[in-house]
Amino acid sequence: MHLTRRAFTAATAALTATPAMAKPVQKPIVIAHRGASGERPEHTLMGYRLAIDQGADFIEPDLVLSMDGVLVVRHENEIGGTTDVASRPEFAARQTVKFIDGEKITGWFAENFTLAELKTLRARERMPDLRPGSAKFDGREPIATFQEVIDLARTESRRVGRTIGLYPEMKHPAFLASIGLPIEARLAAALKSNDLDSASAPVFVQCFEPAALVSFKTLSKARRVQLVGAGSPAMISAQGLKAIAAYADGVGPDWSMVLPTVDGALGPASALVKDAHAAGLLVHPWTVRAENRFLPAKLRRGTSPAEHGDAQAVFHALYAAGVDGVFSDFPAMAVAARS
């Protein structure tokens, strides 16, 4: 039976309904970070499908904008690192230099291409040396729009018989606003037109920039998560978390802020989960990756940075710390550790 958008939302609301205050969800959610991005090029529909087959509860699209204002799914607005644009002579003259969030970047930028032009490009693995298996899928898929990912989640929910949630991230909102492409209103409109504009919808909207989440709160009822990098410890102090709770439903810290590394091993859990729950916030740390390069020294196995280490230890310790969900490039591992 075909579910309407409204029925889809209503039928799936129970999965992610937020408790009134301070109570973590019963089972931590597994968030497929850019898809099953350890095994397929990030942000591709095939990567999202694989993640869903592996048991992911939510799929994560990072969002930027095309020149004509369409939400497209890329980790950053510079698209040279994850597409074949650098090999396309027709776009050679689009290479340029920009200052994005204080960083000088040379490359090709999504906002300098129309959606039709972006659609001619093909996605590539970002880290082919670390992930040669994923790189075998280079060139197979175009850049996806946010609407295509919403449609995929809906179609896949019917196929697998469970709700697949959406966890979109607004990328570079201050920069995009500075060039006349504010992203908040476009995301709010997209959620609204898909009947996902409610606190009970299977959606979390995330961002590193607090101002964008505060702005988004005025535009949409969808739940919000404040991302926090390891370089911003003040944000996860008890006081900082209370401030976040004024405009967000959850906090998404670097996982090392929940589990500090001590002498190359996982140390005891920090107070972050306890303090966040006390402030009424969910806790969804990012991003657990299996390769040695991303693991503490004592969890590494073998000698190559690309070999997989003991990521299971990280998942188990995060779940034991009481997190409400976890982002991973390897959702199958996150699901296995949860069970």
Instruction: List residues with catalytic annotation.
Output: 33, 75
d(C-alpha 317, C-alpha 311), whole Å: 10
Q: One symbol per residue from 223 to 262: x for binding ligand G3P (CB under 6 A), - otherwise; what is it?
A: ----x------------------------x----------
The reply on whether position 169 binds Ca ion by CB under 5 A is yes
Q: One symbol per residue from 14 to 53: x for binding ligand G3P (CB under 6 A), - otherwise; what is it?
A: -------------------x--------------------
Residue 14, judged by CB atoms within 10 A of its CB (0-12, 13-18, 19+), counts as: exposed
The reply on whether position 327 binds ligand G3P by CB under 6 A is yes
d(C-alpha 332, C-alpha 337), whole Å: 9
The reply on whether position 329 binds Ca ion by CB under 5 A is no
Partner that binds at residue 91, options ligand G3P, Ca ion, none, CB closer than 5 to 8 Å by kind: none
User: Least distance in Å: CB of 22 to Ca ion?
Assistant: 26
The reply on whether position 57 binds Ca ion by CB under 5 A is no
Give whichever of 76 and 117 is closer to ligand G3P, judged by the CB atom. 76
What residue has token string 């992203």? 183
The reply on whether position 76 binds Ca ion by CB under 5 A is no
Residue 13, judged by CB atoms within 10 A of its CB (0-12, 13-18, 19+), counts as: middle
Residue 25, judged by CB atoms within 10 A of its CB (0-12, 13-18, 19+), counts as: middle
Q: Strand 204-207 to strand 223-228: parallel, antiparallel, or no bridges (unpaired)?
A: parallel
Provide the strand spans (E) within 234-279.
Answer: 250-253, 261-262, 265-266
User: Least distance in Å: CB of 289 to Ca ion?
Assistant: 13
The reply on whether position 169 binds ligand G3P by CB under 6 A is yes
Q: What letter represents residue 27's amino acid?
A: K
Contacts to ligand G3P by CB under 6 A: 33, 62, 75, 169, 206, 227, 252, 286-287, 327
Contacts to Ca ion by CB under 5 A: 62, 169
